Amino acid sequence: MKLSITFDRLRWEEKALKDAAASMGLSASLVDAKGLAIPVPGKTAELGDAVLQRCVGHYRSLLLSRTLEGVGLKVVNRYAVAEVCTNKLATTIALSRAKVPTPTTFLALSSETAEKAAEELGFPLVMKPFSGSWGRMVTIVRDRPTLRAIIEYKEELANPLEQMYYLQEYIKRPPRDIRAIVAGDQIVACVHRIAPRGEWRTNVARGGTSEAFKPDPELKEMVHKASEAVGGGVLGVDAMESSEGYTVHEVNNTVEFRGAQSAVQTNIPEKIMRYVSTEVKR
Amino acid sequence: MKAECAECGAAISVPDDVIVGEIVSCKDCSSEYEVAEVSGGGVILKAAEEAGEDWGE
């Protein structure tokens, strides 16, 4: 079994995954996706039998996974999982259908209905792009004048996606959230991500720091349900502590774990590669 | 290993164990480069892709 780890920007995580594979005696190569041209139909011998998809660009990741699966390679995570996780609305729908508590969310298809949705949600509320990561463009909207100002800005943008709105209930939570790293049915690591001073968002990419903790049974069950809801695999489940219990707001399918690894003793990349090696042999 | 920043001309230090695909940056001007090739004790850099709107985890 020859495995490729595809990337488009080589991060600490991809190197750690390759090292973990080597330590397990697993043949895994790092392959720059930017250097690929894949014939359809055709063979992609250079990639081996299976691929661990680690591209940072969502569109590149989706197109590559779809194509590789199409020409017969096994891909982790599966394209169907990536399709759900790279679209926040699809994630919300998947979580909601699986009865995983998730913040109330509106899709508004115009600026007028965005204001109506905001009335329903109340202020503050959270506005997010449909795709994207690292907390980028995730905005807490504290009042109606701010919402109108954001809408005015977005109306000037050419991208049609900017004329539609993903608006979400604001969850009162401590200045931290939860990141659970999952590989199949195993919760590999669980950390609190603590927002840096002066920042509302907790993303490590925004300066958030990680502290390990042991998940209680309620959280474990919710993480498993959230993982199953999007189709399972190697995932980062993000949850918040609300006054009514845990609520899951996102699931990441190319999970970064450098921050979490700094806080836990568990060898995260090794656990991930153990899962991947089992999964690709199925 | 050393490489020259195409933007400002400063010397960029590249670790000896660097691998193709890794990102290095210029300490003087913060320009980012991707390692395109490592051979014969030298390294060839190319401009790194700029972060896209769809980048993330």
Structural domain ending residue among the three candidates A126, A143, A169 = A169
* Predicted TM-score of the model (pTM): 0.93
Q: Do the domain assignments include residue A196?
A: yes
Average of per-residue pLDDT across A228-249: 97
Specify whether A74 is located in the same domain as A137.
no
The CATH number given to whatever domain includes residue A25 is 3.40.50.20
Min distance A57 CA to chain B CA atoms (Å): 4
Indicate if A110 and A150 belong to the same structural domain. yes
Task: Tell me which residue in B21, B52, B53 faces A10 most closely, judged by beta carbons.
Answer: B21
Chain B residues near residue A32 by CB distance under 8 angstroms? 20-21
B17 near A CB under 8 A: no
Query: What pLDDT score does A29 carry?
Result: 95
**Neighboring chain A residues of B15 at a CB cutoff of 8 Å:** none
- Pair A72, A92 in one domain: no
Minimal C-alpha gap between A59 and chain B (Å): 7
Residue from the list B22, B49, B54 with its beta carbon closest to the beta carbon of A58? B54
What was the pLDDT predicted at A10? Answer: 94
CATH number of the domain within which A126 lies: 3.30.1490.20
Two tokens, residue A144: 């109606």
Residue A203 within any structural domain of the chain? yes
Q: Helix, strand, coil % (nearest 5) of chain A? A: 40, 25, 35
Say whether both A215 and A110 belong to one domain: no
Find the range with the poorest average confidence among A37-51, A68-82, A149-163, B31-45.
Answer: A37-51
| In a shared domain, residues A159 and A55 | no
Q: Are A62 and A79 in contact (CB under 8 A)?
A: yes
Strand order in the sheet with B23-25: B23-25, B32-39, B42-47
Q: Is A19 on the interface with B (CB under 8 A)?
A: no
Using a CB-CB cut-off of 8 Å, the residues of chain A touching B21 are: 7, 9-10, 30, 32
A63 near B CB under 8 A: no
Residues 37..56 of A with a Cβ closer than 8 Å to B: which? Answer: 56
**Residues A5, A31 contacting (CB under 8 angstroms):** yes
Cα A150 from Cα A128, distance rounded (Å): 12
pLDDT tens per residue across span A125-144? 999 999 887 888 899 999 99
Topology annotation, domain B2-47? Rubrerythrin, domain 2 (2.20.28)
Q: How far apart are CA A74 and CA B19, in angstroms?
A: 26
Tell me, yes or no, whether A146 lies in a domain: yes
| Domain shared by A261 and A207, yes or no | yes
**Has residue A165 been placed in a domain?**
yes
Mean residue pLDDT across chain A: 95
Identify whether residues A189 and A272 lie together within a single domain. Answer: yes
- Quick one: A202 and A255 in the same domain? yes
Q: Which residues pair with A240 in a beta bridge?
A: A247
**Does A235 lie in the same domain as A162?**
no
User: If you average pLDDT over residues A249-261, what whole number do you get?
Assistant: 95
Domain locations in chain B as residue ranges: 2-47
In this structure, is residue A282 part of a structural domain? Answer: no
Domain region containing A257: 87-97+173-277
Q: Do A32 and B23 touch (CB under 8 A)?
A: no
> Residue B42: is it exposed, middle or buried by C-beta count within 10 angstroms (0-12/13-18/19+)?
exposed
Residue A209 lies in a domain: yes
Mean pLDDT, range A179-204, rounded to an integer? 93
* Residue A42, in any domain of the structure: yes
Q: Is A160 exposed, middle or buried (0-12, 13-18, 19+ CB in 10 A)?
A: exposed
Q: Is B53 on the interface with A (CB under 8 A)?
A: yes
pLDDT for A100 equals 98
B57 in contact with chain A, both atoms CB, cutoff 8 A:
yes
The interface predicted TM-score of the complex, written ipTM, equals 0.85
Burial of A21 (0-12, 13-18, 19+ CB in 10 A): buried
Residue A260 located in a structural domain: yes
Q: Please count the structural domains in chain A.
A: 3
Q: Are residues A225 and A251 in the same domain?
A: yes
What are residue A267's phi and psi, to 5 degrees?
A: -85, 95
CB contact, 8 Å: A132 with chain B? yes
Asked if A58 lies within 8 A of B49 by C-beta distance, the reply is no
pLDDT category at A201 given cuts 50, 70, 90 is confident
Q: Mark whether A10 and A42 lie in a shared domain.
A: yes
Distance CA A74, CA A279 (A): 9
CA A235 to CA A230: how far, in whole Å? 9
Rounded to an integer, what distance in angstroms lies between the CA atom of residue A175 and that of residue A230?
27
CATH no. for residue A225?
3.30.470.20
Would the pLDDT of A43 be above 80? no
User: How many CB atoms sit inside 10 A of residue A104's CB?
Assistant: 15
Q: Do B21 and A32 touch (CB under 8 A)?
A: yes
- A264 lies in the same domain as A200: yes
Residues of chain B with C-beta less than 8 angstroms from the C-beta of A254: 56-57
Final residue in a domain of this structure, among A169, A198, A213: A169
**Residues of chain B contacting A56 with CB distance shorter than 8 Å:** 55-57
